[in-house]
Amino acid sequence: MDLFKRYFPVFSLLAVVVGIQVVTHFTETTYYLTQLTMSAYYSVVVIGLCVLMGYGGQISLGHAGFFAIGGYLAGALTTHNLITLKGHRLVSLLDNVGLLVDSKGLYGGDLLTVEPWAACIIAVLTAGLIAFAIGGPILKLKGHYLAMATLGFGIIIYRIALASAYFGEADGISEVPGFKLLPGIEVSGSFVSRVLNYYIAWGMVIVAVILLLNLIHSRVGRALRSIHGAEEAANAMGVNTARYKLYIFVLSAVFAALAGVFVTHYNGGIGPSEAGVMKSVRYVAIVAVGGMANIWGALIMGIVLNFLSLRGVFGSYDDAVFGVILIIIMLFAPQGILNINPGQKVKSLLSFFVSKSGEETTE
Amino acid sequence: MTPELFIQYLFAGITYGIIYAIVAIGFNIIYNTTGIINFAQGEFVMLGGMIAITMHSVMPIPLAIVAAVVITMVVGALIEMVFIRWLESPSVLRMIIITIGISILAREVALHIWGESVRALPYFIGNEVTSVSILGAKISPQVLWVIGVCSLMVAGLSLFFKFTSLGREMRACAANRRAATLCGINTKNMVTLSFVLSAGIGAVAGCVMSPITYSDYSMGPNLAIKGFTVAILGGLGNSVAAVTAGLLLGIIEAFSISVLPLAFQDAIATSILLLILFVRPHGLFGSSEAASLKEF
């Protein structure tokens, strides 16, 4: 019964995903699938961050940094030509193991690049290792200090992406090849594989959701909630708070990096704006709107807001919309938009004004 | 490095350093009365500079600056009244997110009013090429304006907090809010005042630095992160140490240009921030015991 309750929404999600594809097929609006695919990848970052923020209580303003580490490494490794280094021992060793691919470039030149699978694993591992390395000292911090430290990490990654020639400076990386997951299944932005890519992205979301749902209902999840509630108390009860915080930090970083890898292959490129502070703030905003400790809320809001933003509904007010959303949610509904009880809200507002005017008359 | 070049770098460092110190003091004033780090602190500097530039088209510079500072102070007061005053014991996470939201909003409003172009106030005395010679180095008089005005402001603030009754009330509010309330101090008004004050000093800094560093809508976050680095470096809440720390950071940055590519300059402050947070979160000058006793 419990398991049924846990997985019922997953099956509903699956049904909705298939339903949307069928509807767009018959209404000939398949172009929506492109934005839905992108939204799905961004939502993987968001639900990872949701577990870190909502359940673990640790804010991170640097998740765009991890997304960028994944995307940039995958992009750079699969596009930079190693042909001139072919004589080098390390390169020929990699080639012999099958980690490199030979191909023809646009202008007929020989290209020798890293195989996307290898690049993906390297990118995600690197992001995980960086998260592991900085997570130790960063997660000792609390509140403002933690926010600023993670923000600082994000800025450093942004600066590195912007300043190094290897990552294309302000132009970013383009012409990233597709990522063949299995023979015949390729992550790429090509027109014909739009539907396939839609299912790849949503498959990733569903796997991520199932993983996280199981995680938060396990020992780890209980430990995280105890940390959120009262860290000292959790520590006194024998919960190894430092280890669990680090564990979830690395996990959410890996999610972000994986999404970054897939988005880069899907878009065929990545630019420094993906590493920007505004992106990190946006992920935090979505988690907040979804209700912090609510994976489904974060997922739904992640899809809705990213979809609207990618469709260009907000126009030049894109960032402003996310700023306003942040403020309004945090002022009026810190429990998230799905937990609003309108009647009670009006009552409390009324009582606020009544008590206010009462104060003034007595003074 | 020639002695002249050394002095040139030194003055550049001091100029930026004292501006970082002003931003850090803005952080400290609000932190001390509310326990909030105002992530929108850099936006006050941006608003001050941008409003003064707009005002300057219809009035002389001194008036434009006064108008800009007053308007920014009003904005600071409004921000406090609309977004913060009526919240009852909000969590730190909530306040962080609200002030980040305010910072984004301020930046977007500025973008839609002023556009993306970079502007600057004219030099207060002379123009870009006017210079005074100090120990063989050529220094723009505007640099002296920045250093002079900011130093006066720091001195004025410490006198204000020490000797005026309003300043004392604010300090009381910082030391123990409940006790201050019991003594008849209206702590809510003190919080508003702290926002007004830190908006005001931010705006002044924004005006005097504008001719040298230029102003644009997106300058806020960068200044805020550096101001925060300085505030942490000196020990959060300690304004005297913030000046020392500000000068230190400014000078380190200025001299780093001679070794590192310019693009990495901003990464230096951030790396220092991370390092100091990891190693000595209570600051270079603060002791960990003193960190638990909040005083100016």
pLDDT, tens only, A222-259: 888 888 878 888 888 888 888 888 999 999 999 999 99
Region B38-50: mean pLDDT is 92
Is A291 found in the same domain as A241? yes
Share of chain A above pLDDT 90, in %: 23
- Give the per-residue pLDDT at A348: 67
Least confident span in A156-160, B31-35, B252-256: B31-35
Examine the pLDDT at B295 and tell me if it is beyond 50.
no
Q: Which of A152, A316, A324 sits opposite B225 (nearest CB)?
A: A152
Beta strand residue intervals within chain B, DSSP E: 132-134, 137-139
- Chain B CA closest to residue A289: B97
- Give the per-residue pLDDT at B194: 92
| A152 contacts B274? CB cut-off 8 A | yes
Task: Report the distance separating Cα B259 and Cα B162, nearest Å.
Answer: 42
Task: Report the distance separating Cα A194 and Cα A178, nearest Å.
Answer: 13
- Give the per-residue pLDDT at B90: 76
Q: Residue A129 belongs to what domain range?
A: 2-331
Nearest alpha carbon to residue B42 among B231, B240, B276? B231
Is A275 found in the same domain as A354? no
269-308 of A, contacting B, C-beta below 8 A: 277-278, 281, 284-285, 288
Region A175-184: mean pLDDT is 80
Is A149 found in the same domain as A76? yes
**Which one is predicted more confidently, A52 or A169?**
A52
Is A343 found in the same domain as A316? no
Where does the pLDDT of residue A356 fall: very low under 50, low under 70, confident under 90, or very high at 90 and above? low
Is A339 found in the same domain as A280? no
- Give the per-residue pLDDT at B199: 95
- Mean pLDDT (chain B) is 86
Write out the two tokens for B75: 């904005």
- Give the per-residue pLDDT at A360: 46
Where does the pLDDT of residue A63 fall: very low under 50, low under 70, confident under 90, or very high at 90 and above? very high
Examine the pLDDT at B286 and tell me if it is beyond 80.
no
In angstroms, the first-to-last Cα distance of chain B is 39
Question: A321-325 long-range CB contacts below 8 Å, 24 or more apart?
Answer: A322/A278, A322/A281, A322/A282, A322/A285, A322/B104, A323/B100, A323/B101, A323/B102, A323/B103, A323/B104, A323/B105, A323/B108, A324/B101, A324/B105, A325/A285, A325/A289, A325/B101
**Which one is predicted more confidently, B224 or A363?**
B224
Count of A-B CB contacts under 8 Å: 114
Is A9 found in the same domain as A100? yes
Is A363 found in the same domain as A224? no
Write out the two tokens for A299: 């997922």
Task: Report the distance separating Cα A157 and Cα A110, nearest Å.
Answer: 32
Where does the pLDDT of residue B287 fall: very low under 50, low under 70, confident under 90, or very high at 90 and above? low
Maximal C-alpha separation, chain A: 88
Sign of the CA dihedral with A100 first, then A103, A109, and A113 last:
negative
Is A177 found in the same domain as A42? yes
**Which one is predicted more confidently, B34 or A305?**
A305
Tallying the residues shown for chain A, one arrives at 363
Is A155 found in the same domain as A62? yes
Q: Which amino acid is at A282?
A: R
- DSSP assignment letter at A15: H
- Give the per-residue pLDDT at A362: 42
Task: Report the distance separating Cα B176 and Cα B32, nearest Å.
Answer: 10
Where does the pLDDT of residue B25 fall: very low under 50, low under 70, confident under 90, or very high at 90 and above? very high
Is A181 found in the same domain as A68? yes
Write out the two tokens for A39: 């939204």
Q: Which amino acid is at A124?
A: V
- Domain ranges, ordered by start, for chain B: 3-141+188-292
Q: Which of A334-338, B169-173, B193-197, B289-293 has the highest mean pLDDT?
A: B193-197
Is A252 found in the same domain as A108? yes
**Separation in Å, CA A190 to CA A13, A186, A224, B53, B218:** 26, 10, 41, 49, 36
Is A246 found in the same domain as A195? yes
Region A24-34: mean pLDDT is 84
CB B224 within 8 A of CB B41: yes
Q: Which of A52, A140, A151, A286 is the best residue to mutate to test the B interface, defined by the most B CB atoms within 10 Å of its own CB?
A: A151
Region B17-41: mean pLDDT is 89
| A59 contacts B105? CB cut-off 8 A | no
Region A34-52: mean pLDDT is 92
Task: Report the distance separating Cα B262 and Cα B29, nearest Å.
Answer: 32
| B92 contacts A143? CB cut-off 8 A | yes
| A147 contacts B96? CB cut-off 8 A | yes
Q: How many domains does chain A have?
A: 2
Region B21-48: mean pLDDT is 90
Task: Report the distance separating Cα B3 and Cα B259, nearest Å.
Answer: 17
Task: Report the distance separating Cα A99 and Cα A114, nearest Å.
Answer: 6
Q: Which of B100, B225, B275 is the best residue to mutate to test the A interface, defined by the most A CB atoms within 10 Å of its own CB?
A: B100
- Give the per-residue pLDDT at A345: 62
**Which one is predicted more confidently, B144 or A362?**
B144
Question: B289-293 long-range CB contacts below 8 Å, 24 or more apart?
Answer: B290/B235, B291/B235, B291/B236
- Give the per-residue pLDDT at B236: 80
- Give the per-residue pLDDT at B290: 53
Question: A314-319 long-range CB contacts below 8 Å, 24 or more apart?
Answer: A316/B112, A317/B108, A319/A278, A319/B104, A319/B107, A319/B108
Question: How far A147 CA sits from the closest chain B CA (Å)?
Answer: 8
Share of chain B above pLDDT 70, in %: 96
Region A286-301: mean pLDDT is 86
Q: Which of A162, A326, A331 sits opposite B263 (nearest CB)?
A: A162
pLDDT digits (tens, 9 = 90+) for A134-145: 998 888 888 888
Task: Report the distance separating Cα A287 and Cα A249, nearest Å.
Answer: 15
How many other CB atoms are found less than 10 A from the CB of residue A214? Answer: 13
Task: Report the distance separating Cα A201 and Cα A40, nearest Å.
Answer: 6
- Mean pLDDT (chain A) is 83
Write out the two tokens for B238: 């300690």
CB A124 within 8 A of CB A261: yes
Question: How far B144 CA sits from the closest chain A CA (Å)?
Answer: 31
Examine the pLDDT at B32 and tell me if it is beyond 50.
yes
Least confident span in A341-345, B183-187, B232-236: A341-345
Residues on chain A touching B101 (C-beta within 8 angstroms): 285, 323-327, 330
Write out the two tokens for B260: 């590192």
Nearest alpha carbon to residue A32 among A186, A185, A194? A194
Write out the two tokens for B294: 């909040």
